[in-house]
Amino acid sequence: MPELPEVEVTRRSFVDRIVGARILGVRQGKPLRWPLGIASERLVGRTVLDVGRRGKYLLLQLDDGVLLLHLGMSGSLSFRQAQPAFGVHDHFDLRTTQGMLRLHDPRRFGAVVWSPSIDTGRARRLLAGLGAEPLDEAQFEPAAFHAGLRARRAPIKQVLLAGDLVVGVGNIYASEALFLAGIRPTVRANRLSRQRADRLHAAIRQVLSRAVERGGSTLRNFSNAAGESGHFQSEAAVYGRVGEPCVRCGTPLKLIRQGQRSTYFCPHCQK
């Protein structure tokens, strides 16, 4: 599933090329998770002013309204001057004066939704419950993060994945951040001291920043809008390495299941 780094990498891979483009046409395939929310012909003639991101949503700011794009479980975007023929897993084309943006999504859990603005309509409902942006220093503040942890009794890994305290720390990145901070994924969130919470706060920012630098993680078929794969998975310290020696102490890494998700950790280094 594309997480925050993959979505941010995707945004950066086409934002400079699409800003200023005027929409010439829209093509939709099979229904996605939610309806577009506007007649597609009403998008024709509008101009793309910017491409932002909130959590795992890409925000195409238009001169009238905003398009929210979510990649779901298996989606990816491509932006090219000319796209191949519309395939069975292609579900949305935005044809513009500067190229065509296409959503390819085999499992169809993705979405493209129009809203009058970020603060109203569908956008407000979809974004309202999202936690702090971890790469934004002003939003993701250590004291507030610790206070949020103190209010939660669930295991820390599941709190990170929930997205209502801090957004975008997906399964790979939660495992990696917890390893970097030396925190066992099963520890209850409200048991973390301020010192340990600060270490985790710093680890989250470090891991996500590095993942963006490395183009995200490509475990199956993720690629950015220019068709480039990510490489963070090649330097993961624990994720996907069950039974292999810990890079710090040499102890074989373990795998457990938490909320139907795989969790990798070192039983010696993480307490």
Tell me whether residue 3 is one of the annotated catalytic residues.
yes
What is the pLDDT at residue 79? 97
Answer yes or no: is pLDDT of 105 > 90: yes
**Which of these is catalytic: 11, 17, 56, 157?**
56
**Residue 135's pLDDT band (boundaries 50, 70, 90)?**
very high
Of 80, 184, 205, 261, which residue is the catalytic one? 261
The pLDDT of residue 221 is above 90: no
pLDDT tens sequence across 194-216? 999 999 999 999 999 999 999 99
| pTM metric for this prediction | 0.94
As a dihedral over the C-alpha atoms of residue 13, residue 206, residue 216, residue 9, rounded to 10 degrees, the angle is: -20
Asked if 110 and 71 touch (Cβ cutoff 8 Å), the reply is: yes
Q: What is the pLDDT confidence band of residue 219, given thresholds at 50, 70 and 90?
A: confident
Residue 97: the pLDDT is 98
Q: What angle do CA 7, 13, 14 make, to 5 degrees?
A: 105
Cα 143 vs. chain centroid, distance in angstroms? 24
Set out the domains of the chain in order of their start, with CATH numbers: 4-127 (3.20.190.10), 142-265 (1.10.8.50)
Q: Which band of pLDDT confidence, cut at 50, 70 and 90, is reported for residue 20?
A: very high
Instruction: Clarify whether 261 is annotated catalytic.
Output: yes
